[in-house]
Amino acid sequence: MHELSMAQGIINAVIETAENNNATEVTEIGIEIGRLAMINPEQLKFMLGVLVENTIVEDAVIKIEEIPVEIECPDCGFKGEADLDDKDHYAPVVECPKCENKRISILNGKDCIVKNIVIEKPDD
Ligand SMILES: [Zn+2]
């Protein structure tokens, strides 16, 4: 499943970053998901919850933010947030909100990234 490999990648990256910073615990993870990243946020959150068990990320608060899709329309010149039929997370239809053109350039909203993590360090 797509969300599982995505979740695994996120957790691996977070643990690596945490270890590189001598963290004892990760307390918060901020994740941004583009609406076109083909990721179901609920599923991702569930997978992350399973994968963090028995790691230093176990007690982290996971914050997932959905990022709107930004497009540029070659027909009418519209640039900005797209209309998105996202009832189905896996096959959203993107079109220009002005002229309903579907052959648009997508500028933003395709990625899933770890925006920030908050770690605890040992007292020194
Ligand atoms: Zn247009």
The confidence band for 87, taking pLDDT boundaries of 50, 70 and 90, is: low
pLDDT in tens, 23-50: 999 999 999 999 888 889 999 999 999 9
State the Cα–Cα distance between residues 115 and 83, nearest whole angstrom: 25
| Predicted TM-score (pTM) above 0.75 | yes
Q: What is the 103 CA–ligand 1 centroid distance (Å)?
A: 9
Q: What is the 68 CA–ligand 1 centroid distance (Å)?
A: 17
Q: Could you give the angle at which helices 2-20 and 41-51 cross, rounded to 10 degrees?
A: 50
Q: What is the 80 CA–ligand 1 centroid distance (Å)?
A: 10
Q: Which domains does the chain have, with CATH numbers?
A: 1-68+109-124 (3.30.2320.50), 69-108 (no CATH)
Looking at the predicted structure, is the pLDDT value of residue 94 above 90?
Answer: no
Which secondary-structure segment (H or E) carries 70? Answer: strand 70-72
Looking at the predicted structure, is the pLDDT value of residue 83 above 80?
Answer: no
Nearest to 106 by CA among 83, 90, 85, 88: 83
pLDDT in the model for residue 46: 95
* Percentage above 90 pLDDT, the chain: 77
Q: What is the 120 CA–ligand 1 centroid distance (Å)?
A: 48
